[in-house]
Structure 1
Amino acid sequence: MERKQLMKEFKERFNYEGERVFFSPGRINLIGEHTDYNGGKVFPCAITMGTYGVVKARKDNKVHAYSGNFPEVDTIVFNIQDLAFKKEDNWTNYVKGMMKYIQEQVGELPHGFDLYVYGTIPNGASLSSSASLELLTGVIVHDLYNLDISRLDLVKLGMRTENEFLGLNSGILDQFAVGMAVKGYAMLLDTNTLSYEQVPVDLPHHKIVIMNSMTRRELVDSEYNTRREQCEAALEQLQEVVDVSSLGELTEETFEKYKHVIKDDVLMRRARHAVYESARTDRAAEALKAGELDLFGKYMNESHISLDEDYEVTIEATDLLARSAWKEPGVIGARMTGGGFGGCCIAIVENDEVKSFVENVGSGFNEKIGHEAEFYIAETADGAKEWVDNE
């Protein structure tokens, strides 16, 4: 997206020039799915697909917000002193939630602003468009009002917006990746302690290919919250015999020793995924650091199988993409990424095989599912920030 085009679209909407431009990335999770709310390890990186925002301060207490992605919605107007959730306020509830919790922390903001937003993340693709918008809002508000609030606090307020304002019991993975990312790196994050390590994503002979099933998933209306409840129920039973506060604290050996106390097979499988996936993520990050890409791919494949069989968050379309990818020449590994129930998969593919990979996986998908998948090359990005003129 060109800065000049964004400024032009702001002016067409608001009839005057915008002042500042911001960008907030989307994210992929290389491995470590549904472990964040279980206190386990995750391994995400930010990508160059994301959300742009052009902003100019107003003199009153109103926010006028318009999305170039939803022109049928028109401009939505709200008062910064009235930030209650309203269904009719559509996508701006993400903006309102962030502003509500920021004001709770730093006090009432002095004025509103006009905001033009344009996102390049496909809707419902599991590439974290919601966290991208939340952190875009957080960085805009932080910079516009010169607030004394840390980036980590903005990340936490993004998660709070999801959990409390919008009612989705997700963990901190998405907001942390979007807010704290560094271009060229993935983050090995311990979601229990929030300690993290930046690990280089050095793939000179390979590309990370995003495979979009074009099957939109709605996490709030799905079984996402149910998975969290199931894990919490399994944890409660394990806590009768093991002193832990989260599934992520358990080793595979300890889990195997005590899993018999989980009386329900479904709960046992949910917990097994959380425990094994966290450990697998740790090992995968070590493999990537050591340049053992084939081993990293093996862990990706194992992750997908666990998500399919133990956690049951794949659907036919995403499972087909991953398993089709495994059969193609030059593929190191492939797995579902994101919350599941639709969305995207990722694959690591040798540079020379990318074209045939896309053709073969795409044609097989279309033949079986009845519509086309989309494919994108993932490039890493920095976390949410102002887009300055020389970038």
Structure 2
Amino acid sequence: MRPVELLPFVIERYTKVYGRPPRWVAAAPGRVNLIGEHTDYNDGFVFPMAIERYTYVAADYAEHDRPWVCFRSTATEATYKIELDPLPAPLPKGTWANYPLGVMVGFKRMGLNIPGLDLLVHSTVPLGGGVSSSAALEVSTATLLEAITNKTLDPVEKALLCQKAEHEYAGMPCGIMDQFISTMAREGYAMLLDCRTRKPELIPMDDPEVTVLVINTNVKHELTGSEYPTRRKQCETAAYILGVKALRDATLDELERAKPYMDHVVYKRAHHVITENERTLKAAEAMRQRDWISFGRLMYESHQSLRNDYEVSCAELDVVVEIASGLGLEKGVYGCRMTGGGFGGCCVALVKAHTVSEVEKIIKAEYKKRTAIEATVFATKPAQGATILKQ
């Protein structure tokens, strides 16, 4: 689905809420990472694509010249009215309006004037499933503000502004992948992103014979809060022992030579990152060659590494990958892996396009049989990035 297809619905919902149609509507996609997990904060490579699920932000000038921005969403009754002068502090942690608010503050810091606005958010990006609903909201807000302020940002500057908003206002120390792909995606392309140089390379993924399947386990395991920072610290420790700036600079041979001087868990974390970077670059080459069998094999290897070396998988994610692997090429599945931070969320599978319906049906049925949980599954092609739909 292209974002313009839902525009009449978004206009209708806005009109119902505010009693008049919006002046502007912007949209930005969620994403799925095909391969390259927990490599971003190690200066490595990631390989996402935008999905055909979008977050829409519609707006008009506030009535009666009110100075505040009114934030509303079709997903919740909560409404927030916030003045932007002086610059506001973040709302309580977990408040959805922090994401667009942080972006607005970023525009204000650039000296751009934001008038009073009545704003409505509508999203088809699954929340909390590891497909970056937060970045979609930030980037759609930034795209809207470009139209309102008549100021087009450099795409990298725009993505970094959105990342900073998530750091400062949502309190989430995310990497750069999500905002980059939501901002710069092109329909029919995946993006190989070098997280050190911030250089994206768009690689055609327009083979009509293949489709991406996103399988949401609908599970998110409660964490203590230390799992991700601990792993990041372990990676930094490994890099220090190896004498490199980041694990991106280390080779497998160097890691093996340093193994006697490393804690076993630190070694495993480094082993994942180094091999995952290699897999990601190989996957990009496989996509260039339309070698989907090799691409699928790399996906399975990535999942095994995330499960065994990085230890961020969980039983439900493993079940999905086992089901997909059991179907195999004969039933149309090239490969499958967990995607996102882990401990729940989504898997991503590469499948033959003509088998999508049958593969989806089998995975959902078998997953429910083995876990007693309903999975949410959707197929997607690589989608276009952020766009202004009405101005």
Tell me whether the two structures share a fold, i.e. TM-score over 0.5: yes
User: Does the Cα contact within 8 Å between 2:139 and 2:162 map onto a contact in 1?
Assistant: yes
Closer/same/farther in 2, CA of residues 148 and 19 from structure 1, 3 Å limit: closer
Q: AA paired with 2:324?
A: A
Aligned equivalent of 2:72: 66
Residue 183 of structure 1 is matched in structure 2 by 187
- Which residue in the other structure is 2:28 paired with? 24
1:131-280 map, 5 Å: 131-147=135-151, 149-216=153-220, 221=225, 223-239=227-243, 244-262=244-262, 264-280=263-279
- Tell me by how many angstroms 1:378 deviates: 1.1
C-alpha RMSD of the superposition: 2.0
Per the TM alignment, residue 124 of structure 1 is displaced from its structure 2 partner at its CA by 0.8
The amino acid that maps onto 1:310 is: D
Counterpart mapping for 1:232-381 below 5 A: 232-239=236-243, 244-262=244-262, 264-328=263-327, 329-381=331-383
Report SS of the residue matched to 2:373. coil
1:219 Cα offset (Å): 8.4
Partner of 1:100: 105
**CA offsets 1:195-235 (integer angstroms, 9 cap, x no match):** 22110013322221111101146889572333223222322
Deviations along 1:116-138, one digit per CA (max 9) or x if unpaired, are: 11110121111100111111111
The answer to whether the Cα contact below 8 Å between 2:108 and 2:114 also exists between their aligned partners in 1 is: no
Mapped partners of 1:8, 1:279: distance in 2 = 48
Amino acid at match of 1:95: P
CA distance in 1, matches of 2:120, 2:234: 40
Range that drifts further, 177-186 or 95-104: 95-104
CA separation of 1:32 and 1:353: change in aligned 2, threshold 3 A: same
> For the structure 1 residues 147 and 188, does the alpha-carbon distance in structure 2 shift closer, same or farther, using more than 3 Å as the test?
same
- Aligned CA distance change for structure 1 residues 88 and 208 (closer, same or farther; 3 Å): closer
Q: Which runs of 5+ in 2 are unaligned?
A: none
- TM-score relative to the length of structure 1: 0.92
Give the conservation status (yes or no) of the 8 Å contact 2:61–2:116.
yes
Aligned letter for 2:143? V
Deviation per residue, 1:325-349 (Å, 9 max, x gap): 0110221000111111211101111
Which residue of 2 is the match for residue 15 of structure 1? 19
Q: Is the 8 A contact 2:356 2:379 kept in 1?
A: no
Are 1:186 and 1:198, in contact at CA under 8 Å, matched by a contact in 2? yes
- 3-state SS in 2 of match to 1:182: coil
The answer for unaligned runs of 5 or more in structure 1 is: none
> Contact conserved, 2:38 with 2:341, CA < 8 A, in 1?
yes
Deviation at 1:149, TM superposition (A): 2.9
Structure 1 residues 309 and 88 mapped into 2: Cα distance closer, same or farther (>3 Å)?
Answer: closer
Change (3 A) 1:45 1:13: same
Residues matched between the structures, number:
381
Task: String of CA shifts for 1:78-137, please: whole Å, max 9, x gaps.
Answer: 111242112178100011111222322x12524231111111012111110011111111
**Preserved CA contact (<8 Å) 2:189 2:204:** yes
1:89 to 1:215, Cα distance in 2 relative to 1, 3 A: closer
How far apart, in 2, do the equivalents of 1:176 and 1:218 lie? 28
Runs of 4+ aligned residues of structure 1 deviating over 3 Å after TM superposition are: 216-222
Identity, % of aligned pairs?
36
Letter in 1 for 2:318: D
Query: Aligned pair in 2 of structure 1 residues 176, 88: CA closer, same or farther (>3 Å)?
Result: closer
When residues 228 and 165 of structure 1 are mapped into structure 2, their CA distance, relative to the original with a 3 A threshold, is farther
Residue 33 of structure 1 pairs with residue 32 of structure 2: no
Contact 2:272 2:310 in 1 (8 A): yes
